């Protein structure tokens, strides 16, 4: 049975995911987090790495915001993508079982000892980003992703 450590006692992972937002932002923005990308790459690079495959039969792009706003519609989209028929009742059951609230309640850890469930809200970033951080993020996202047709919702 694994012991769950508080976030700030995660050992080596705390170096990459510090509690201090400004340090976290800088590490993330500079590509210094081990998120299975090359050093120096960050979230937009991850999107760009998959973008050439967006129309492949075995790739499905989903947006968290759409999943939060329209879970049943997005679950249906996933079922269709997988070629699995599901009744409306089954879609409702899946939506309930996979709601943020239920997932957080069950506490399935992302790592062996850490749960990364926070609030599950759309646009909570507004409570953390400074105006300068938000402007920098917008600028860098626009630079990196200006040539793609994916539209992001920041609400």
Q: Spell out the domain ranges in the chain.
A: 7-145
Phi, psi of 141 (to 5 degrees): -65, -45
Digit-coded pLDDT (tens) for 116-145: 666 777 777 788 889 999 898 888 888 888
Indicate the pTM of the whole model: 0.70
Most confident of 7-16, 62-71, 106-115: 62-71
Nearest alpha-carbon partner for 13 in 36, 34, 40, 28: 34
Q: What angle do CA 10, 111, 72 make, to 5 degrees?
A: 130
Q: Given a cut of 80, is residue 147 above it in pLDDT?
A: yes
Rounded Cα–Cα distance for residues 11 and 70 (Å):
37
3-class SS of residue 42: coil
Nearest alpha-carbon partner for 104 in 126, 119, 87: 119
Rounded Cα–Cα distance for residues 1 and 112 (Å):
10
Architecture of domain 7-145 in this structure:
3-Layer(aba) Sandwich (3.40)
């Amino acid at each position: 049975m694994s012991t769950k450590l508080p976030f700030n006692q995660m050992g080596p992972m705390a170096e990459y995911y510090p509690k201090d937002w400004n340090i976290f932002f800088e590490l993330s923005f500079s590509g210094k987090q081990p998120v299975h990308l090359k050093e120096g790459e960050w979230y937009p690079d991850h999107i760009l790495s998959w973008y050439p495959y967006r129309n492949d039969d075995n790739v499905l792009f989903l947006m968290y915001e759409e999943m939060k706003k329209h879970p049943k519609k997005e679950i249906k989209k996933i079922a269709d993508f997988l070629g699995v028929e599901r009744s409306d009742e089954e879609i409702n059951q899946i939506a309930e079982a996979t709601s943020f609230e239920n997932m957080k309640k069950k506490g399935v850890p992302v790592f062996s000892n850490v749960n990364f469930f926070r609030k599950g809200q759309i646009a909570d970033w507004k409570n953390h980003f400074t105006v300068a951080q938000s402007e920098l993020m917008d600028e860098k996202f626009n630079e990196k992703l200006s040539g793609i047709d994916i539209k992001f919702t920041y609400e």
